[in-house]
Structure 1
Amino acid sequence: MLESTPPTTLPDRLSPVVYVARGARRYAPGTTGDPTARVYARVRLDPVVGTAIADAYAAAPLRDERAYPAYAALCQETARQYHFLVGRAEFGGLGMTVRVVDEDPYPDVGAMVDDVRRRRLKVWATAASGTPHPYLSDAENDMFRAVHDVFGHASIGRGFDRHGEEAAWLKHSGMYSPLARLAMTTETRGQTCVRIFRYGDFPEQKAVLLPRIFSDPSLVHVDGGGAGTAARR
């Protein structure tokens, strides 16, 4: 899943969108050890780790059938998150309006977060961006872009630089089962790292699984706390 907006030059940390943060906790009430907003603000991606993730992604084939069960789980769980996102508030949803558009809709992360505060979001259409996915349909990829921008980024107020992407991966990964998280890590952490540390641009999308250690949220680095303090799930 390529993020719908490019890296921003604005300050990375914004105020979290409160109703989204509360909704994410309500959606996954069984999650234990969910870090506080202050912890998410201190998440950093170590360049050594980032380079290792990038190398693993770059070396992987376009698709691997062994990844398909994780991708099937990702699709099912993303659809549930999306319906929670757009569901009417009186029926327990967040009442957000999502529009899929043909051009990159936001100049920076601040504009995206401002839209989310107004319960609306635009997503750059997979079909228009010329980046088809080898497993996900265009509609499934668009849904994933939407829920990741909202539950990953807006819920904690982090942007699209490498540290913000790491924090968004950490937050959003907690809303997925361990199986789906393997595919979700490829789609977010994997693509982010190969873009930043290898290619400098959006990579080819793949349906593969990275080494399991890269899906372990307990190993995320937090300033002032080292690795292992970000999450204990």
Structure 2
Amino acid sequence: MITGAGGGLGRALAAALAPTHTLFLAGRPSQRLDAVAAQYGATTWPIDLADTDGIDAVVEPIVELDVLVHNAGVAYPGRVAESTVDQWRATMSVNLVGAVALTLALLPALRAADGHVVFINSGSGINASPGLASYSASKFALRSFADSLRNDEPGLRVTSVHPGRIATEMQEDLVAYEGRGYDPTRFLSPETVARVTADAIHTPRDGHVHEVILRPR
């Protein structure tokens, strides 16, 4: 299962994993999500991470799950003094609480498969980024949740992926906030991040990749 599969990185993750996995694409219903599903013969799962009350019922039919990739996320560019409580609440709701809720709902299915949970985190989950106050805080918390999950569920593999800036729509918004021109060649491509993530997932069963840190050259 891949969350946020309608976006640039989500689509790249689907492409990287489609040759070896049957894909469940989770997210809010949209034409973009449907297009990715049609391209890779995947099933869509209508999940809104901001509405945790509905998650259990949606994923109840899944009794075994090999891999869960948490890719969905939101970012509201702004320094601390510019941010609002509503932005902090919305960021934590999707980036942290939604990921926790989906993981808990799928825990029995992951246990049944000795599964792998992958969190697409960020460099901001290691070093707070200027102008991304609420986003950085949510990613630090998500890293902590991943560490706790790894400690508490020894039958699972849990990997945090910390890429630097990626050439996506979210990056365009951040660059615009910074008042600079957007040049995608300065950033990691979604395909590169997806390839590295797939490599971690394909690690032989006697290995456990805890953390991946990836930066643009």
TM-score by length of 2: 0.31
Looking at secondary structure, tell me which structure has more strand per residue: 2
Highest RCO, 1 vs 2 (Cα 8 Å, sep ≥ 6) = 1
TM-score by length of 1: 0.30
